[in-house]
Amino acid sequence: MSVNYLLLGIAVAALASIISRALPFIVLSKYANAPLLHFLGKQLPGAILIILVVYSLQDLSIFEADMSLTDSAKGWPLLMASLTVAALHFWRRNALLSIFLGTGVYMFLIQYCL
C-alpha cells in the first residue's frame, strides 16, 4: 500500500461521502415529497445493509464457491459471532455492547479455540 494509493483512496471515499450528504440539500430538495423517494428511503437502506453484511462475511470466507460453509477455520467462529451480535442487539439494543461483545467472541474463538 503506497502512500499515494492510500491518499487517493481517502480522497475518493471522501468525495463519495460528501456527495451522499450534500445531494438532498443541493439537487433533491425539489423532490423531497416525491413518492418514489419516500419509497426508496423506506426500502433501499435495509436491502443495502443486508448486502453489506453478506459482503463482509464472504470477505472473511464463510462460504465456499458452491455455497457450502467453508472448511477454513473462520467459518464457524464467524457464524457464532454474527448470531451473538444479532441476538444481543435484538435483546438489548445497545450498539456498543453488541459490537464489542460480538467482536470479543470472534477474537476469542479464532485465537484460543482453533
Residues 52-71 interacting with another protein (rule: CB under 8 A): 52-60, 63, 67
In the bound complex, what is the minimum distance in angstroms from residue 73's beta carbon to another protein? Answer: 11
The span from the CA of 100 to the CA of 85, in Å, is 9
Q: How many residues bind another protein (CB under 8 A)?
A: 74
Q: How far is the CB of 74 from another protein (least distance, A)?
A: 9
Site for another protein in 24-53 (CB under 8 A): 24-25, 28-29, 32, 35-37, 39-53
Interacting residue with another protein among 17, 69, 72, 113 (CB under 8 A): 17
3-state secondary structure of 14: helix
The distance of closest approach from Cβ of residue 71 to another protein in the complex, given in angstroms and rounded to an integer, is 18
Which of 80, 71, 87 is CA-nearest to residue 108? 80
Question: In this complex, which beta carbon is closest to another protein, that of residue 49 or of residue 71?
Answer: 49
Helix H or strand E segment including 42: helix 35-59
Phi, psi of 93 (to 5 degrees): 50, 40
**Which positions from 73 through 112 interact with another protein, judged by CB under 8 A?**
77-78, 81-82, 85-86, 89-90, 93, 95-96, 98-100, 102-103, 106-111
As a whole number of angstroms, the distance between CA 79 and CA 113 comes to: 14
Q: What distance in Å separates the CA atoms of residue 35 and residue 68, rounded to the nearest whole number?
A: 41
